[in-house]
Amino acid sequence: MAKVQIIQPKKSPFLEKKKVAAYARVSVEGEKNIHSLNAQVSYFSTLISSRRDWDYAGIFSDYGLTGTKTTRPGFQALIKACDEGKVNMVLAKSISRFARNTVDLLETTRHLRSIGVPVYFQKENINTLSIGGELLMTLLASFAQEEARSISDNTKWAIRKKFEKGIFAPHFIMGYRWDVNRHPYIVESEARIIRNVFKWYLDGLSPADIAKKLNKSGYQSYCGTDFNYSTIWKMLRQEKYTGTAILQKTFCPDFLTKKRHTNNGELSKHIVEEAFPAIISTELFNAVQTEISARRAKGYKLSRGITITCFSGKIKCSECGTSYRRQVKWHKGKDGKRQKEYHYWVCSTRLDKGGLKACSAERIPESVLFSMTSFVLKCESFDTSEFNKKIDHITAIKGGILAFHMKEERVIAVRWKKEGKCQK
C-alpha cells in the first residue's frame, strides 16, 4: 500500500492579517461632494480599524475626477501599492465609484486578481475572487457605464440649451475676473498687456518674440507663470477681448475618452455679443486675424520677426513630442554690425523650458529643411505647394535624421549634414 506523507504549511494564509485599503471618489467638485468624500474616507477608516484580522493600509481617493478614466492619481497610487505588496485587499463603496468604464474595470480587477488582491464592492456585495463574481460585476459595470453615458448626454443637453440663451459658466481668462453675480469685469493691469500683445504682433513681432519681451519686463500670465509661444498665440485668437463670445468652439464626442475636438461645423455655434466688456476693438482683432493669414500664406519670405512658415506645426520632436519653432540668429561682421541672418528650427521644449537640459533634440538649419524636402519630393528647388500637397509632417530624430511622413501613408527617412547633403 502506498505511503502518503502530508507536509503541513508553516502558517495558514487564512490566519495572516490582511493589509486592507479602500478607494473613494467623487466626480464633481463642491462643498456637498467634499463632505461626501470625507464621509467615505471616515467610514472606511473606521471599518478597517475595527477588524482584528485586518491591517490598515490606507485610504486612496480622487476628488472631482470622472470614473471613466484610470488616469486618476489616487487610483493609480492604489494599483501601485497593490503591485508592491503593500495592499492585499481593496474595499470600494460601489462599482461606479471604482470605475465607470467596463473595459478598464475588468482589466484592473483581473490584474489585481492575478496578483492575489481581491476587490470587494459593498453596495453590490461582490468579491472579485468569488465564483461568478466577474460575471455579475461585468453586468453591473455595463449598467454603470450606461449611467455615465446618460449623465454625459443630459449634461451636454443642458449646456447647449444654456448656450442657445447666451448663458455660459465663468471661466479663467486673462484680462477678466468675475464678480459675485457672475458678471465679468476688466482687470486693467492685464488689459494693458493684452492691448500691447495685439499691437506688437501687428508691428511684426512673432508670438515667441512677444513672450520674451513680456518676460524680460517682468510680466506674468494669469496663472503666475512666464509667457510662452502658446499663451500669446491663444490670446491673439481670443475673440472675447472684443466683447463677443463664440460658444461651443470645441466638443467632446466620446464620454469615455473625454478628448475634445475643434468644432468645424459638426455642431452649431452660438455668437453672444456684449458678453464681456471689450478690451480691444473689433477692428484691431480683425486686423490681427488678417495678419495671421497673411503670414501663413507668405511663409518664410516675410521679415525676420515673423516665425510662421509652411513648416510651422509640421515638424515634431521624437524626444518629447512637441513641435519645432523657427528661430532667427544674426551673425556679426568684423565691424561688429549685423551682417547675415540665419534661420533654425528648434524644439519648443528646448526653447521654452531651459535649453538642452529640457530636451536634447538637435536644431535644424532652415536651409537643410529646404534641401531635404526638395530631395524627398524630387524637385530641383523647394516648392511650398508640393510640400503642402504631399507631406503630412516631419519627425526630427536624434542623430541628424528627418522622417518625412507622406500623405500617401509612407515614410521616407533621410540623414542630413551641416552642408545640406544627405544620405538615404
Chain segment 245-296, per-residue pLDDT in tens: 777 666 676 655 566 767 676 777 777 777 788 888 989 999 998 888 877 6
Q: In whole angstroms, what separates CA 167 from the centre of its chain? A: 27
Q: Give me the mean pLDDT over the 385-413 stretch.
A: 87
pLDDT at 226 over 80: yes
DSSP 323: B
What pLDDT does residue 21 have? 93
What pLDDT does residue 33 have? 64
Position 388: which residue type? N
Q: In whole angstroms, what separates CA 118 from the centre of its chain? A: 33
Tell the residue number behind the cell numbers 467638485, with chain if given. 29
Q: Who has greater pLDDT, 305 or 124?
A: 124
Q: What is the CATH number of domain 176-298?
A: 3.90.1750.20
What pLDDT does residue 335 have? 63
Side-chain-facing half-sphere of 319: CA atoms under 13 Å: 20
Residue 342 pLDDT grade (very low, low, confident, very high; cuts 50, 70, 90): confident
CA angle (253 as vertex; 36, 104 as ends), nearest 5: 55
Beta bridge partners of 60: 23
CA angle (159 as vertex; 154, 164 as ends), nearest 5: 125
- Say what the pTM is: 0.42
DSSP 337: S
* Domain 15-148 = CATH 3.40.50.1390: yes
- Bridge-based pairing of strands 364-365 and 338-347 is antiparallel
Q: Give me the mean pLDDT over the 163-184 stretch.
A: 76
Residue 349 pLDDT grade (very low, low, confident, very high; cuts 50, 70, 90): confident
Mean pLDDT of the chain: 79
d(CA 424, CA 422): 7
Side-chain-facing half-sphere of 246: CA atoms under 13 Å: 14
d(CA 125, CA 93): 10
Q: Which three cell numbers stand for residue 194?
A: 493684452
d(CA 73, CA 102): 19
**Region of poorest pLDDT, from 54-58, 231-235, 355-359:** 355-359
- Bridge-based pairing of strands 89-92 and 18-26 is parallel
d(CA 258, CA 27): 14
Instruction: Give the other-Cβ count within 10 Å of 251's Cβ.
Output: 13
Interval 370-381: pLDDT, tens:
889 999 988 888
Please report, for the chain, the start and end positions of each structural domain, with discontinuous segments joined by +: 15-148, 176-298, 309-423
